Amino acid sequence: SAVISQKPSRDICQRGTSLTIQCQVDSQVTMMFWYRQQPGQSLTLIATANQGSEATYESGFVIDKFPISRPNLTFSTLTVSNMSPEDSSIYLCSGAVGTGGNEQFFGPGTRLTVL
């Protein structure tokens, strides 16, 4: 298994600003992902963080709004840019180990509130 930490755990931000969320894994993982989860809702995949190259974004998410970095196998960042109240959500990172990126483990999440 993998132990995943995130920081900050929560933040309250002003409209128009940006926040960078950090995700650290205690061991090397095959893949890392970023999700968004609205309260009481399911997890929506934002993007796959690729080591040393541009992230792969899902439909509805773009690099200008959610730039992602993954400089090595155990660390990734997600930036929420030019925030609006609609960006208020929980953001979770995850790491997947094993063949084909299976056995996914989640970080504790970052609760973001945009005023």
Partner 1 sequence: GENVEQHPSTLSVQEGDSAVIKCTYSDSASNYFPWYKQELGKRPQLIIDIRSNVGEKKDQRIAVTLNKTAKHFSLHITETQPEDSAVYFCAASNGNQFYFGTGTSLTVIP
Query: Does position 103 bind partner 1 by CB under 8 A?
Result: yes
**CA-to-CA dists, residue 16 to 28, 65, 81, angstroms:** 35, 11, 8
Q: Omega into 8 within 30° of 0, i.e. cis?
A: yes
> Closest separation between CB of residue 15 and partner 1, Å?
26
Q: Does 73 bind partner 1 (CB under 8 A)?
A: no
Q: Where are the beta strands (DSSP E) in the chain?
A: 4-7, 10-13, 19-25, 31-37, 43-49, 56-57, 68-72, 75-80, 89-96, 104-106, 110-114
The answer to whether 42 contacts partner 1 (rule: CB under 8 A) is: yes
Give, as ranges, the residues between 2 and 41 that touch partner 1 (CB under 8 A): 31, 33, 41
| Least Cβ distance, residue 24 to partner 1 (angstroms) | 14
Query: How many Cβ atoms sit within 10 Å of the Cβ of residue 59?
Result: 6
Dihedral sign computed on CA atoms, order 23, 109, 27, 31: negative
Residue 109 in contact with partner 1, rule: CB under 8 A? yes
- Is 88 among the residues that bind partner 1 (CB under 8 A)? no
From the list 14-22, 42-50, 63-71, 72-80, the region that binds partner 1 by CB under 8 A is: 42-50
The nearer residue to partner 1, 82 or 102, going by C-beta atoms, is 102
Residues near partner 1, by CB under 8 A: 31, 33, 41-45, 48, 58-59, 92, 94, 96, 99-109
